[in-house]
Structure 1
Amino acid sequence: MVAPPLALYIHWPFCVSKCPYCDFNSHVREAVDVALWRTALLADMTYEAGQTPGRTLGSIFFGGGTPSLMPPALVADLIEAAAGHWRFADNIEITLEANPNSVEAARFADIGRAGVNRVSLGLQALDDAALAFLGRAHGVDEGLAALETAQSVFQRVSFDLIYARPDQTPAQWEAELARALAFGTGHLSLYQLTIEPGTRFETMVRRGDFKPTDADEAADLFERTQAMTQAAGIPAYEISNHARAGQESRHNLTYWRYGDYVGVGPGAHGRRGNAATQRHRKPENWLSAIARNGHGCERETLLPPDERAAEALMMGLRLAEGIDLERIAARTRVPAKALVDDVAIARLSALGLLTRSADRLTVTPEGMLLLDAILPDIVL
C-alpha cells in the first residue's frame, strides 16, 4: 500500500517582539546568523529525510516565531533541499506564516518566487485599539495593505483573527467579522482569546489588569461566528478554522487526520510511523545538538497503540468531518470496538452533541462548544 503524503514543518523561532498572549516557541534576539541557521536547518531536515525514505511530500509549513523575517533566499534553499529529499506531490502546498507589516510585505514577491504558494497572515484584529492591546506592531491600514499585497502574489491566502477580547460586544465582533468576510480570502482562522500559562496576559489577569470574557459570552460569540461564516460560504471545517470548498489547509489536515509529519527547527514536533519526535526548544540548545549530533532532536519516543489511538481520536474529532473509527483502528492497530465508550457516545448523542453513523463519529456544532469535556468522556 502506498503511504499517504508526508507533511514537513519548519520552525523559525524569532520575532521582533513577544506578543502578550503568545505561548508559542518564539524568541527575541538582537541578531541572527543566517548562514549558521541555514546549515543547521538543512542538517536537521537531512536527518528527518533519512527516517522517511521514498515518501512523497504533500505540504511544507514555515511556522514560528515569524517566518516572514527569514531571508527569501533561505526559504528557497530549504524548499530546494526538501525537493531533493522527497518527491513533491503535484499539488504540494507550501505555506509561510507572515506578519502583516509593510517591511515584511515588501518581501512577499521574493517569497513567492522562492516557491511559497500560500501565506497565513497574522492580522489578529481589525481595530487599532485591539491591536495595541494584543501587542501587535502593525495597525489596521498597514495590515490590510499587506493583505492586498498577499492576495496579488500568492495563490491562496489565509489570515487570523482573535475574538472574545475583553469588553468586545457581540455587535462589535459581528461588524469586524463581516468586514473580514468581505475580503474574499479562501481561509480564515478565528480564535477565541485564551489566557495561556506563562504569558504576559496571565500575569495581567492575575494582577487584575483586565478580566477575560465570560464563558457564556464567549460561547455566544462562537455560535455567531459559525452562523456568519456558514452563511458566507466559508464554514468551519475545524473548530477554529474556516474555508471555502477546496481551500482547507492541507498541512493542518495532516495533523488532524493523524497522518505522518516531520518537524525541524527548535521545538518542532513530529509524528512518523509509531514515533513521536521533539526538538530542543531553546534555539541555542537546538544549535548545540545539531553541532553535536547532526540533528536537533531531543526525544524520539515509540508510542504504544492505545496512546496513538487516543491522539488520533482527539485530533480528528476537532474536524467537522469527524473520524472514521475503522481507519483509526487500521492506523493504530487498536480494534475499533476498543477505541471509544459506546455508553458515553449514546448519552452524548441523545443530548445532540455527537452523531454516529456506522463507523463515522462526528461532534455536532453544539458539541464543539464542549469539546474539551467531551473528548475525555468518550475516549477509552
Structure 2
Amino acid sequence: MTASITPAMPNNASTGAGLALYVHWPFCVSKCPYCDFNSHVRAAVDEAAWRDALLADLAHEAALLPGRRLTSIFFGGGTPSLMAPTTVAALIGAARGHWAVADGLEVTLEANPNSVEAARFADLAAAGVNRLSLGLQSFDDSALAFLGRAHSAREGLAALDIAQAHFERVSFDLIYALPGDGESGWARSLERAIALGTGHLSLYQLTIEPGTRFAAMAARGELEPLDGDRAAALFELTAERTAAAGIPAYEISNHARRGAESRHNLTYWRYGDYAGIGPGAHGRRLGRRTMRHRKPENFLTAVARGGHGLAEDAPLLASEAADEALVMGLRLAEGIDAEALAMRFGVADVVDWRAVGRLVASGHLTRKRGRIAATPRGRLVLDRLLGEIAYCAPVEAL
C-alpha cells in the first residue's frame, strides 16, 4: 500500500450536512471480565460536576461544527443508564440547541437490566431517549455469572418488558460462543430472542481482549475459548436463523428488521462525521480524528483547564481515511462503492481489483460495477479478506 501525505478532505462538512453525536459515560457498577471498553468503577460520582463537564465538552465540538444537522445521539459507556435522567435531558436539550435536528432524530441509550436502572426507564424516555439498547447478554443464569453480569435472567426479561413499554425502539445484546457452547443450545437462545419481538438484535461472539480478566485467565490456562470451527458454525447458524425470521444481519454482529437498523452506528460504518464527547470518546469530523482523555479524573481536569476534554485532534491522511472507510464499510451487508470512496478521498483506488476478482471467483465477495460486498462465506474471514484487497494510492503519485 502506498501511503499518502495528503490530508483527508473534510467529509460531509457543508452547511446542513448530517452529524452524529456520541456521549460516553464511563462508570459501571462492576467491571465485566470480558470488557475492554473505557469503563471505571467509582464509589461515588458527582453528577452535577459531570453534567457541567459534558455540556462544556459538547459546546466545544458545537463551536467547531456550526450549521450541521444532528441525525442521532448515542449514550454509550460504561453504563449510561446510571446517569441521572436530568443529565440525559440536559445533554439532549443542549445538542438540540447547538444544531438543527433531522426529522426522526434517533436518541439511543445503552442500559443494563438491573431493577434499579430499569425503574429509570420512564424518566429516560421523558428526557428524550427513544431507542434503548439493553445488555441482556444471556438468558441463562450460569452464563451471566460466568460473564460477570450483575443481573439475573429473570431481571433481564423484566427489564426488557419495561423497556418495550416505554421506548419506541428497543434492541438487546446477547453474547455467544462461550466455552462449551453448542449449536442446539444457541439455536434455542436464538428462537427465544426472536420471539421477544424487538426489531433489532446485537449478537456478539465472545472474544478474549488483551488486558481483560478473561485474557489473564486464558494465559493461565483457566479459560479455554471455543475453537474456531465451532464458533464459525454458530456464526453461520445465527445468520441463517435471523434471516429466516426477517431480522437479517445488516452488519457482522447486528441484525434488524427493515427500517430498524441503528442509524447512529450506520454513520460509523458508512464513514460519516460524528462528534464524540466524554472520557475516552473518539470522534471523526472535518477530516480529523479526535480522542478525549480516557481516565475520568484527567478528563475533568482537562475540561476545567481548557473547556474541553480533547487529548488528540489530528488530521486524517487521505490514505488512512480511505482504508478506514473500506474496513468499516465491508462490515455492512450493503458493502461499499469502492469507486465513490476513491473519488471522495482523492485516491486512485481503495481496493486491489485483481484481488477482488479472485475473491469474487472464490465466493468470498460479490461485485456489481464498483460496489463490492462480503458474502456470508467472506464475513467469516473478513479480516483476512481485507488484508488481501486493501490498496490506496494517492492520485498525485501515479
Q: TM-score, normalised by structure 2?
A: 0.94
In the other structure, the counterpart of 1:374 is 385
Give per-residue Cα distances to partners, 1:248-293, cap 9 Å, x unaligned. 0000000000000000000000000210001011111111110111
Alpha-carbon distance in 2 for matches of 1:287, 1:188: 34
**Residue 150 of structure 1 pairs with residue 149 of structure 2:** no
Alpha-carbon distance in 2 for matches of 1:4, 1:322: 22
**TM-superposed deviation, 1:324:** 1.1
* 1:175 alignment partner AA: R
Give per-residue Cα distances to partners, 1:276-323, cap 9 Å, x unaligned. 001011111111110111100001110111110000000000000000
Alpha-carbon distance in 1 for matches of 2:44, 2:339: 50
Match of 2:60 among 47, 54, 78: 47
Q: How does 1:120-199 map to 2 (within 5 A)?
A: 120-199=133-212
Match of 2:259 among 246, 249, 267: 246
Aligned residues: 378
In the other structure, the counterpart of 2:100 is 87
Q: Which residues of structure 2 form unaligned runs of 5+?
A: 1-13, 392-398
**TM-superposed deviation, 1:51:** 1.0
Deviates more, 1:143-152 or 1:338-347: 338-347
Higher relative contact order (CA 8 A, sep 6+): 2
**TM-superposed deviation, 1:65:** 0.1
**Residue 221 of structure 1 pairs with residue 234 of structure 2:** yes
Q: Which residues of structure 1 form unaligned runs of 5+?
A: none
* 1:179 alignment partner AA: R
* 2:54 alignment partner AA: L
Alpha-carbon distance in 1 for matches of 2:275, 2:267: 11
Give per-residue Cα distances to partners, 1:38-79, cap 9 Å, x unaligned. 110000000000111000000000000000000000000000
**TM-superposed deviation, 1:332:** 1.5
In the other structure, the counterpart of 1:347 is 358
In the other structure, the counterpart of 2:5 is none
**TM-superposed deviation, 1:3:** 5.1
Alpha-carbon distance in 2 for matches of 1:169, 1:290: 48
Q: Percent identity?
A: 66
**TM-superposed deviation, 1:166:** 0.5
**TM-superposed deviation, 1:350:** 0.9
**TM-superposed deviation, 1:209:** 1.3
**TM-superposed deviation, 1:127:** 0.4
**TM-superposed deviation, 1:86:** 0.6
Alpha-carbon distance in 2 for matches of 1:74, 1:2: 29
Alpha-carbon distance in 2 for matches of 1:3, 1:363: 32
* 2:352 alignment partner AA: D
Match of 2:291 among 278, 287, 302: 278
Match of 1:8 among 12, 21, 33: 21
**Residue 268 of structure 1 pairs with residue 281 of structure 2:** yes
* 2:82 alignment partner AA: L
Alpha-carbon distance in 2 for matches of 1:330, 1:87: 29
**TM-superposed deviation, 1:245:** 0.3
Give per-residue Cα distances to partners, 1:312-366, cap 9 Å, x unaligned. 000000000000123312432223xx21101111111111000111111111111
Q: How does 1:196-215 map to 2 (within 5 A)?
A: 196-215=209-228
In the other structure, the counterpart of 1:36 is 49
In the other structure, the counterpart of 2:116 is 103
* 2:374 alignment partner AA: V
* 2:186 alignment partner AA: W
2:15–2:67 CA contact under 8 A, matched in 1: no
SS in 1 for 2:351: coil
Q: Which contiguous aligned blocks of 4+ residues in structure 1 show a shift greater than 4 angstroms? A: none
SS in 2 for 1:339: strand
Match of 1:20 among 29, 33, 44: 33
Alpha-carbon distance in 2 for matches of 1:339, 1:375: 11
**TM-superposed deviation, 1:2:** 5.6
* 1:326 alignment partner AA: E
**Residue 69 of structure 1 pairs with residue 82 of structure 2:** yes
Alpha-carbon distance in 2 for matches of 1:327, 1:5: 18
CA-based RMSD of the aligned residues comes to 0.9
Taking a change above 3 Å as real, the CA distance of residues 7 and 45 of structure 1, as seen in their structure-2 partners, is: same
Alpha-carbon distance in 1 for matches of 2:153, 2:240: 25
In the other structure, the counterpart of 1:312 is 325
